[in-house]
Structure 1
Amino acid sequence: MNFLRGVMGGQQTSGAQQSGTQTIQKLCDRVASATLLDDRRDAVRALKSLSKKYCFEVATQAMDHLINVLQTDRSDSEIIGYALDTLYNIMSNEADETDENQQIASDDLGVQFSETFIKQQDNITLLLSLLEEFDFHVRWPGVKLLTTLLKHQSTQVQQIVLVSPMGVSRLMDLLDDSREVIRNDGLLLLQQLTKSNAAIQKIVAFENAFERLLDIITEEGNGDGGIVVEDCLLLLQNLLKYNNSNQNFFKEGSYIQRMKPWFEVGDDNSGWSAQKVTNLHLMLQLVRVLVSPVNPPGATSSCQKSMFQCGLLQQLCIILMATGVPADILTETINTVSEVIRGSQVNQDYFASVNAPSNPPRPAIVVLLMSMVNERQPFVLRCAVLYCFQCFLYKNQKGQGEIVATLLPSTIDANALSAGQLLCGGLFSTDSLSNWCAAVALAHALLDNATQKEQLLRVQLATSIGNPPVSLLQQCTNILSQGSKVQTRVGLLMLLCTWLTNCPIAVTHFLHNAANVPFLTAQISENLGEEEHLVQGMCALLLGICIYYNDNSLENNTKDKLKQLIEKRIGKENFTEKLGFITKHEFYSKAAQKPQPIFSSPDHMLFDHEFTKLVKELEVVITKAIYKSSEEDKKEEEVKKSLEQHDNIVSHYKKKKK
Structure 2
Amino acid sequence: MVQADGGLLQGGIVVQDCLSLLASLIRFNPSNQTNIREMGHIARFVTLLPGPKKQKKPRAGPEDEDGWTSPQSDKNVWGLLAIMRMFLVKGGAGTPQNQNAFQKHGLLRQLLNIAFDSATAMPIKIEALNTCADMIRGNPRLQEGFAQEQVRPIVEPAVNGASSLNNIASVYVIEALLNLVLTPAPNELFDLRNSACECVRSYFYHHMQIREHFLNRAIGGHEGGDETANALTILMAGVQGSSMSDPYRLWFASTLIYHLIVGDIRAKDTLMQVKEGDAESGEEVVTCIQTLTANLIASLQLGEDERISIAYLMLLLEWLYEDAAAVDDFLGEASSLQSLVQATLTPGEDRVIIRGLCAALLGVVYEFSTRDSPVPRRDLQPVLHSKLGREKYLEAISELRQHPLVRDFEVLPRTGGGSGSLPSVFFDEMFIDFLKDNFSRLTRAVDRNPNIEQHQDHDGVDRDVVDALRGERDEKEQTIQELKTQLMTLEQKLDQESADHRRTQQSADEQRNTLKKINDKLHDDLDKEIENRDREHKQATLEIENKHKLQVVALNNKLQQAMKESMVAISRTKQEYDERLHESNRTQTEIDRRLELSEKARIEALETIRILEQTQQQTRTEIATITETLQNLQKHVHDSEAQVKGLKQENEDLQSTIEKLKTESQELKTKVQDQTWKVKDAEEKLRKAETSGKSAKENKSNELKALQEKLRAAEKNTEEKQTELDDLFVILGDLEEKRSKDKVRPFRQSFCYRVLMTPRNASRSSARKCQMAKTPKTRMRTMTMTMMNTGTMVRISSLGCVSHTSTSMNKRRSN
- TM-score normalised by structure 1 residue count: 0.58
1:542 aligned partner, one-letter code? L
Range 540-549 or range 412-421, more displaced: 412-421
- Runs of 4+, deviation exceeding 6 Å: 267-271, 639-642
Instruction: Give the aligned partner of residue 636 of structure 1.
Output: 460
CA distance in 2: counterparts of 1:550 and 1:510, whole angstroms: 10
Match of 2:198 in 1: 387
Q: Where does 1:62-73 land on structure 2 (aligned, <5 Å)?
A: none
Q: Secondary structure at the match of 1:298?
A: coil
1:406 aligns with 2:217: yes
Q: Look up the match of 1:475.
A: 291
Contact 1:251 1:303 in 2 (8 A): yes
Contact 1:408 / 1:459 at 8 angstroms: preserved in 2?
yes
Q: 1:410 to 1:287 in 2, by over 3 A?
A: closer
Paired with 2:372 and 2:43, the residues of 1 have a C-alpha distance of: 57
Correspondent of 2:415 among 594, 598, 601? 598
**Cα gap change, 1:408 to 1:318, in 2 (>3 Å):** same
**Equivalence map 1:245-260=2 (5 Å):** 245-260=31-46
Match of 1:507 in 2: 327
Larger fraction in helix? 1
| 1:218-617 map, 5 Å | 218-227=3-12, 228-266=14-52, 273-293=70-90, 296-357=91-152, 361-373=170-182, 374-376=184-186, 378-409=189-220, 414=225, 417-420=228-231, 423-424=234-235, 428=239, 429-430=243-244, 431-460=246-275, 470-482=286-298, 483=300, 484-524=304-344, 526-558=345-377, 560-592=378-410, 597-598=414-415, 600=417, 602-617=422-437
Structure 2 CA distance for partners of 1:238 and 1:599, relative to 1, 3 Å: same
CA distance in 1, matches of 2:411, 2:228: 35
Q: State how 1:115-264 maps to structure 2 within 5 Å.
A: 216-227=1-12, 228-264=14-50
Q: Distance in 1 between matches of 2:199 and 2:210?
A: 13
* Mapping 1:643-658, distance limit 5 Å: none
Aligned-partner Cα distance in 1 for 2:270–2:26: 43
**Deviations 1:523-579 (Å, cap 9, x if unpaired)?**
22x251111111010011111221233344315232x33223211222223212211
| Equivalent residue letter for 2:343 | Q
1:474-506: CA deviations, max 9, x gaps? 232222222222121111111111222232222
Correspondence for 1:34: none
**Structure 1 residue 638, shift from structure 2 partner:** 5.6
| Separation of aligned partners in 2, 1:395 and 1:599 | 28
| Separation (CA, whole Å) in 1 of partners of 2:144 and 2:89 | 20
Q: Taking structure 1 as reference, are residues 279 and 456 closer, same or farther at Cα in structure 2, changes over 3 Å only?
A: same
Kindly tell me: are residues 638 and 424 of structure 1, through their superposed partners in 2, closer, same or farther at Cα, counting changes over 3 Å?
closer
Matches for 1:3-22 after TM superposition, within 5 Å: none
Distance 1:233 1:432 in 2: 38
Letter in 2 for 1:475: T
Which residue does the alignment assign to 1:208? none
- Mapped to 1, the partners of 2:72 and 2:178 lie a distance apart of 30
Matches of 2:297 and 2:335, distance apart in 1 = 10
Q: Check whether the contact 2:394–2:443 (CA below 8 A) recurs between aligned residues.
A: yes
Equivalent position SS for 1:297: coil
Pairing 1:24-43 to 2, within 5 Å after superposition:
none
The whole-number CA distance in structure 2 between the counterparts of 1:425 and 1:353 is 29
> Contact (CA 8 Å) 1:597, 1:608: kept in 2 or not?
no
Give the CA RMSD over aligned residues.
3.5
How many Å apart are 1:593 and its aligned residue?
5.3
Q: Is the 8 A contact 1:256 1:306 kept in 2?
A: yes
- In structure 1, give the amino acid aligned to 2:11: G
Paired amino acid for 1:368: L
Is the CA contact (8 Å cut-off) linking 1:334 and 1:388 kept in structure 2?
yes
CA shift at 1:282, angstroms?
0.9
Structure 2: distance between partners of 1:426 and 1:309: 42
Query: Does the CA contact (< 8 Å) of 2:215 and 2:260 recur in 1?
Result: yes
State the partner residue of 1:123: none
Percent of aligned pairs with the same residue? 22
The 10-residue stretch of structure 1 (240-249 or 566-575) with the greater mean CA deviation from structure 2: 240-249
Deviations, residues 239-298 of structure 1 (Å, cap 9, x unaligned): 2223344334433444334323333513999986433222211111111112133xx532
Q: Secondary structure at the match of 1:353?
A: coil
- Structure 1 window deviating more from structure 2 (468-477 vs 388-397): it is 468-477
The residue type equivalent to 2:296 in the other structure is L
Query: Within 2, Cα distance between the matches of 1:253 and 1:412?
Result: 52
Deviations 1:433-483 (A, max 9, x none): 2222222222112111111112122334579x9976744322322222222
Corresponding letter in the other structure for 2:77:
L
Greater displacement, 414-423 / 346-355: 414-423
Secondary structure of residue in 1 paired with 2:322: coil
Show structure 1 runs of 5+ residues with no match. 1-215, 646-658
* 1:421 to partner: Cα distance: 6.1
The 2-side partners of 1:607 and 1:233 are apart by: 33
Query: 1:275–1:302: structure 2 CA closer, same or farther, 3 Å change rule?
Result: same
Q: In the superposition, relative to structure 1, how do residues 458 and 273 fare at CA in structure 2: closer, same or farther (>3 Å)?
A: farther
Deviates more, 1:579-588 or 1:271-280: 271-280
Question: 1:510: how far off?
Answer: 0.8
Q: Distance in 2 between matches of 1:308 and 1:300?
A: 12
Looking at structure 1, the residues matched to 444 and 452 of structure 2 have their Cα atoms a distance apart, in angstroms, of 11
**Distance (whole Å) between structure 1 residues aligned to residue 464 and residue 100 of structure 2:** 41
Contact 1:352–1:363 (CA<8 Å) still a contact in 2? yes
Q: Which amino acid counterpart does residue 417 of structure 1 have in structure 2?
A: T
Show CA shifts across 1:611-641 (max 9, x none): 0111122222222332232455587316999
8 Å contact kept, 2:401–2:439: no
Distance 2:136 2:291 in 1: 33
Instruction: Find the aligned partners of 2:223 and 2:69 in 1 and give their Cα distance.
Output: 42
CA separation of 1:544/1:393 partners in 2, compared to 1, >3 Å: closer, same or farther? farther
1:640 and 1:226 map into 2 onto residues whose CA distance is 77
Distance in 1 of aligned mates of 2:80 and 2:115? 15
Residues 157-186 of structure 1, C-alpha deviations (whole Å, 9 max, x = no match): xxxxxxxxxxxxxxxxxxxxxxxxxxxxxx
Aligned-partner Cα distance in 1 for 2:463–2:373: 22
User: How far 1:609 moved relative to its partner?
Assistant: 0.7
| Equivalenced residues, count | 422
Question: Residues 370 and 422 of structure 1 are in contact (CA less than 8 Å); yes or no, is this contact kept in structure 2?
Answer: no
CA contact (8 A) 2:236 2:292 kept: no
Q: Distance in 2 between matches of 1:488 and 1:533?
A: 15
SS state at 1:602 partner: coil
Q: Retained in 1: the 8 A contact 2:197–2:252?
A: yes
- The CA deviation at 1:610 is 0.4
- The 2-side partners of 1:247 and 1:586 are apart by 37
From the CA coordinates, give the structure whose radius of gyration is larger.
2
Deviations 1:106-163 (A, max 9, x none): xxxxxxxxxxxxxxxxxxxxxxxxxxxxxxxxxxxxxxxxxxxxxxxxxxxxxxxxxx
Counterpart residue identity of residue 322, structure 1 = D
Deviation (angstroms), 1:385 = 1.9
Task: Verify the 8 A CA contact 2:406 2:432 in the aligned structure 1.
Answer: yes
Structure 1 residue 323: Cα displacement = 3.9
SS at structure 2 position matched to 1:591 = coil
How many Å separate the matches in 2 of 1:284 and 1:610? Answer: 25
